[in-house]
Amino acid sequence: MTTTSKLLRVALAVDLPESDCRLIERLEPRVELLRDHTLYRPARWDADWEGDPAFTRTPAQQAAYDSLLAGADALFGIPDVQPARLAATVRANPALRWVHTTAAGGGGQVRAAGLDEAELTRVAFTTSAGVHGSTLAEFALFGILAGAKNLRRLESDQAAKQWPARWEMRHLDEMTVLIVGLGGIGAATAARFKACGSTVWGTSRSGRPVDNVDRIVPLDDIVAAAGEVDAIVVTLPGTAATEKLIGADLFAAVRPGTLLTNVGRGTVIDEDALLTALNEGRIGFAALDVFATEPLPSDSALWHHPNVLASPHTAALSRQESTRIARLFARNATALLDGAPMANTVDTVEFY
């Protein structure tokens, strides 16, 4: 998408620290960032894009917020992080040309907005993919280490003040780790496991070499490959093509005690099949930051399974997140204004 405008009017649709707003304007002076911090849901923590749900705009504030969005060429964030609000904004603002989502998996939010083909053609959508790569890669490493060192047993023995006979732990430099998805998160994960001495395999559609990956596995061969590794790290986004990709066939193929962590999207794993694999010992430990339904329902067996570590989709958060996204947004704004390709453009067929 190209533009002949020498100025890009961008409305802040979610709150962003003022220091990061000024950073965007400094990095790309042709951006006019429209904002009023009194109109956004207050952040409860760093990069809390949804904001405090208890906040309610007055009618005057809502009118001002809507007017802000209606006068923009582009949006930083999805309005209130609600797909329905995105749809309403796209339809109320025929001049809107670009929306940047603060989520790495923002394609799913765009899909949920139910935009028609003309609207998807008119507006370019980009995501924050890659911004969370280092933080999620650390959690992936932590999750496999927690399984390798039997964190649950250590916690149980300590709580019971029990000093058992010494027992053997598993070591990363003796492991082959399969990374399912070699995008930004997967590549960052590969670098960390390689630094720990692991043999690293990874799935790829393109088949192109990736740094720190010893073997590229075609996605069609994932089941066979899963039976040859010690640990599996899932980094894939949630799409129709990836839904329950990690399911009963794959779990039936793994070696007993295989370790698993998911830092992609919860829908990629068939949770019923995972529970069966956990109960049968084929999966020895699972560290999960994401789930098919979030929040994880209180009646889910994953809550109390002794070999599951459940994280409330928080592994990506860091103090640097908003600044990293601001820098990415500024680079994409420059690309748009110069008629160059933008990074992380959403595929509006698969919404990835």
Could you tell me the two tokens for 45? 């923590």
The tokens for 333 are 């704004």
* Cα–Cα distance, 293 to 313 (Å, whole number): 11
- Residue 336 contacts residue 98 (beta carbons within 8 Å): yes
265 assigned to active site = yes
Rounded CA separation 138/134 (Å): 6
Examine the residue annotation and report whether 119 is marked as an active-site residue of this protein: no
Distance CA 105, CA 113 (A): 14
Identify which of 171, 152, 155 has the alpha carbon closest to the alpha carbon of residue 278.
Answer: 152
Closest by CA to 11, choosing from 89, 70, 63, 75, is: 75
Q: Which of 57, 313, 327, 331 is catalytic?
A: 313
Distance CA 252, CA 232 (A): 14
d(CA 172, CA 147): 11
Task: Read off φ and ψ for residue 233, nearest 5 degrees.
Answer: -115, 125
The amino acid occupying position 246 is I
Catalytic residue among 132, 265, 282, 324: 265
**Residue 23 · residue 323 · CB < 8 Å:** yes
321 catalytic per annotation: no
Helices (H) and strands (E) in the chain, counts: 12, 12
Which residue, chain included where needed, has tokens 């990709």? 245
The residues carrying an active-site annotation are: 265, 294, 313
